[in-house]
C-alpha cells in the first residue's frame, strides 16, 4: 500500500496542460520531436524544448533526460527514449524508460510528474500491456521515493484513460489485500 501522502492518478486530457513539475515526452533516442505527444509538447512549449533535448542526445534506448519546459505549465520535460530510429518498442524499453524518467524526476527533486502511454502511438505497443508495465513501475518507485509524491497518467482519449484507470484500480486493490 502506498503511503497516504503519495498518489497515482489517471486522467483523460492534454498532457501539455498538466499541472505538474514535469511532463514526460515519449521520445526516440535522438530526441527529435515529431508527431504525437512530442509534437504537442513542442507546439505548445516551443522549439527551445527540442533544441535543448537534441543537444543532450543521442541517448541509449530506455534512458531519459531532463530539459526545460518552455511555455508549458510544467517546469521540466523528461524525454524518455522509448524507441530508436526504427520507431518500435517493447516491454523492456517501456519499463526502462518509465523507471529512468522517475529516477530523473527524483534527481531533480520533483514532487509531481505526468506520463503519457509510452510507446502506444507510433511505437504500436498494446495499451493494456503498457498500462500494466507503467503503473507497476510507478507503484514500486513511489513507495521508496523521497521527493516524488504524485504520478499522473494523462491519456488523450477515453479508451486509453479507461485502460489505465482499470489497471491502476486493479493494482492498488491487489496491493491492499
For the chain, the structural domain boundaries read 7-176
Using 50, 70 and 90 to split pLDDT, how confident is the model at 2? low
Instruction: Report the pLDDT value the prediction gives residue 50, as an integer from 0 to 100.
Output: 97
pTM of the model: 0.95
Identify which has the larger pLDDT, 171 or 30: 30
- CATH level 3 topology of 7-176: 3.40.220
pLDDT tops 50 at residue 177: no
Please report, for residues 101, 103, 126, 128, the alpha-carbon distance to residue 66 in angstroms, rounded to integers and kept in the order given: 9, 11, 26, 27
Mean pLDDT of the chain: 94
Span 82-100, pLDDT tens digits? 999 888 999 999 999 999 9
Please report, for residues 51, 60, 86, 89, 106, the alpha-carbon distance to residue 31 in angstroms, rounded to integers and kept in the order given: 9, 11, 13, 15, 21
Instruction: Report the pLDDT value the prediction gives residue 176, as an integer from 0 to 100.
Output: 53
Amino acid at each position: 500500500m502506498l503511503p497516504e501522502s503519495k498518489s497515482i492518478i489517471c486522467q483523460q486530457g492534454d498532457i501539455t496542460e498538466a499541472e505538474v513539475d514535469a511532463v514526460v515526452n515519449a521520445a526516440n533516442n535522438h530526441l527529435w520531436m515529431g508527431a504525437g505527444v512530442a509534437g504537442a509538447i513542442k507546439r505548445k512549449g516551443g522549439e527551445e524544448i527540442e533544441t535543448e533535448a537534441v543537444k543532450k542526445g543521442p541517448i541509449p534506448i530506455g534512458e531519459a533526460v531532463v530539459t526545460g519546459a518552455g511555455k508549458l505549465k510544467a517546469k521540466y520535460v523528461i524525454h524518455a527514449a522509448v524507441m530508436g530510429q526504427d520507431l518500435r518498442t517493447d516491454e523492456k524499453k517501456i519499463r526502462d524508460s518509465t523507471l529512468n524518467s522517475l529516477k530523473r524526476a527524483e534527481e531533480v527533486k520533483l514532487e509531481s510528474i505526468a506520463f503519457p502511454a509510452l510507446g502506444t502511438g507510433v511505437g504500436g505497443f498494446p495499451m493494456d500491456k503498457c498500462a500494466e508495465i507503467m503503473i507497476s513501475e510507478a507503484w514500486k518507485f513511489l513507495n521508496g521515493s523521497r521527493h516524488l509524491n504524485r504520478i499522473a497518467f494523462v491519456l488523450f482519449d477515453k479508451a486509453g484513460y479507461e485502460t489505465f484507470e482499470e489497471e491502476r484500480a486493479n493494482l492498488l486493490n491487489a496491493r491492499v489485500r
